[in-house]
Amino acid sequence: MNKMQEITAIIVDDEQDSRTTLRKYCAKYCPYVNIQAECKNNEEAQIAILKFKPQLVFLDIEMPRGNAFDLLEQIENIEFEIIFITAFSQYAIQAFNLSASHYLLKPLSIEELVDAVHTVRDEIYNKQQINKAEILLQNIAAIHNQNRKLVLPLMEGLEIVRMSDVLYCEADDNFTHFYLTDGRKLMICRNLKFYESSLDPFGFFRIHRSHIINLEYIKRYIKGKGGSVVMENGEEIIVSNSKKSELIQRLRGH
């Protein structure tokens, strides 16, 4: 492996066994990852980040003396990529997906580890770094759902948009088209299913296998077998018969 492609990294996890497992996995399956330090709490992590200036931090979310988000809030300039490590938490995972943050679930999957590290390496060396950690913190703290931001992977990089700027999403095989309130259409390098569970709690609803809509922007519902909705940009979108009753319930409670 070319030395220029090496990634410097630290591990932050309060469990010794977890740190050891991750180090061994990296040595065997991601040999270009150079682990410079292992830290068992936020205090040690802050010191290691200042000393080594790593490109990547493997960061356990829950630790006895402050969680991962406490650590990130204490760092003035987050100039590294992060792979979060967590036990299952639907709330946190929704925030990760919306922010395009990388995460691994315990117990660690070797395949998922390799995929995450490969993606991070590409982002580092293609200079696609944006402060996703800052956006993640904003999303977790956001009181009003649609004040949250989405980090959308495009063919040529990444774009940040507010949820409130999304009219609807349309499936296109393994891609998704995002239609925005300013008239733009973005082609996103993820399929529609990826966004279904992440967007649903925030006022979005999948009305058809090919469309997720922002309920805030429905102008009119037209009756029919499944019916259709007219969005504020004038676009009429078919509603699947199986989604009709749930959509009407959501509209009445909206």
Looking at residue 184, which CATH number applies to its domain?
2.40.50.1020
Looking at the structure of the chain, the number of domains it has is 2
Q: Are residues 132 and 184 in the same domain?
A: no
Per 3-state DSSP, the chain is made up of helix, strand and coil in percentages (nearest 5) of 40, 30, 30
- Residues 215 and 44: their CA atoms lie apart, in Å, by 45
Place of tokens 């630790």: 63
Residues belonging to the chain: 254
* Over residues 26-33, mean pLDDT: 96
- Name residue 165's amino acid: D
Q: Are residues 185 and 128 in the same domain?
A: no
- Residues 158 and 176: their CA atoms lie apart, in Å, by 14
Instruction: Give me the pLDDT at residue 89, please.
Output: 65
The better pLDDT of the pair 21, 68 is held by 21
The runs of H, that is alpha helices, within 126-238 are 132-141, 192-199
Pick the closest to residue 176 from 206, 203, 149, 146 (CA basis). 206
- Residue 197 counted as domain residue: yes
Task: Write out the residue range of the structural domain in which residue 208 sits.
Answer: 149-253
The enclosing domain of 73 has a CATH number of 3.40.50.2300
The answer to whether the CB of 78 falls within 8 A of the CB of 131 is yes
CA distances in angstroms from 190 to 48, 104, 132, 194, 239, listed in the order given: 35, 18, 17, 7, 22
Which tens digits make up the pLDDT trace of 143-157? 557 778 898 988 888
- Residue 245 counted as domain residue: yes
Q: Are residues 207 and 111 in the same domain?
A: no
State the pairing for strand pair 56-60/7-12: parallel
Instruction: Give me the pLDDT at residue 100, please.
Output: 73
* Over residues 226-237, mean pLDDT: 95
The least confident of 43-52, 102-111, 119-128, 164-173 is 119-128
When the pLDDT of each residue in the chain is averaged and rounded to a whole number, the result is 88
Instruction: Give me the pLDDT at residue 61, please.
Output: 86
Q: Are residues 179 and 102 in the same domain?
A: no
Q: Are residues 117 and 174 in the same domain?
A: no
The better pLDDT of the pair 165, 75 is held by 165
- Residues 90 and 219: their CA atoms lie apart, in Å, by 31
Q: Are residues 121 and 9 in the same domain?
A: yes
Instruction: Give me the pLDDT at residue 88, please.
Output: 63
Which tens digits make up the pLDDT trace of 178-195? 999 999 999 999 999 989
Residue 35 reports pLDDT greater than 90: yes
Residue 142's pLDDT band, with cuts at 50, 70 and 90, is low
The answer to whether the CB of 178 falls within 8 A of the CB of 169 is yes
Q: Are residues 197 and 122 in the same domain?
A: no
- Residue 144 counted as domain residue: no
- Name residue 214's amino acid: N
Q: Are residues 127 and 164 in the same domain?
A: no
- Name residue 222's amino acid: I
* Over residues 38-63, mean pLDDT: 94
The answer to whether the CB of 126 falls within 8 A of the CB of 13 is no
Residue 28 reports pLDDT greater than 70: yes
The better pLDDT of the pair 202, 134 is held by 202
Residue 248's pLDDT band, with cuts at 50, 70 and 90, is very high
Domain boundary among 117, 137, 157: 137
Domain boundary among 87, 109, 137: 137
- Residue 177 counted as domain residue: yes
- Residue 142 counted as domain residue: no
Q: Are residues 112 and 215 in the same domain?
A: no
- Residue 204 counted as domain residue: yes
Burial 73-90 (b: 16+ CB within 10 A, else e): eebeebebbbbbbbeeee
